[in-house]
């Protein structure tokens, strides 16, 4: 095993592109977004009216939509707000 195997694995699984979706709805503490093909565990920023932003984590999928759980305040988030990835799913080596 090369000493660079861990770094090569990180590069291979990194998301080198920007993914942008749109808030479609909120039910309780679950945000539904469309056009957001991200893996579970990815972190996203939701940009709302008035330059407000919230952070959320991808927790699942339902009926073609990506489900997010907010990690910060949701005040001001509404349908149509832009959602974009800011970090890929966290990984811990064992």
Q: What is the CATH number of domain 5-87?
A: 2.40.30.20
Determine the Cα–Cα distance for residues 47 and 62; give it in Å rounded to an integer: 22
Question: What is the share, in percent, of the chain residues with pLDDT greater than 70?
Answer: 85
Query: Residue 21: pLDDT band by 50, 70, 90 thresholds?
Result: very high
7: Cβ contacts below 8 Å, ≥ 6 apart:
none
| 15 pLDDT above the threshold of 70 | no
Strands 43-48 and 52-62: antiparallel
The domain locations on the chain are 5-87
Question: Which has more confidence, 91 or 78?
Answer: 78
* Res 91: pLDDT: 57
3-state secondary structure of 80: coil
């Amino acid at each position: 095993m090369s000493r660079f195997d861990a770094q090569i694995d990180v590069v291979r699984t990194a998301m080198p592109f920007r993914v942008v979706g749109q808030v479609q709805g909120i039910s309780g503490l679950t945000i539904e977004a469309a056009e957001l093909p991200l893996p579970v565990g990815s972190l996203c920023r939701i940009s709302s009216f008035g330059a407000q932003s919230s952070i959320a984590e991808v927790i699942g999928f339902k009926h073609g939509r990506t489900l997010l759980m907010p990690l910060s305040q949701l005040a001001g988030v509404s349908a149509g707000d832009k959602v974009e990835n800011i970090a890929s799913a966290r990984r811990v080596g064992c």
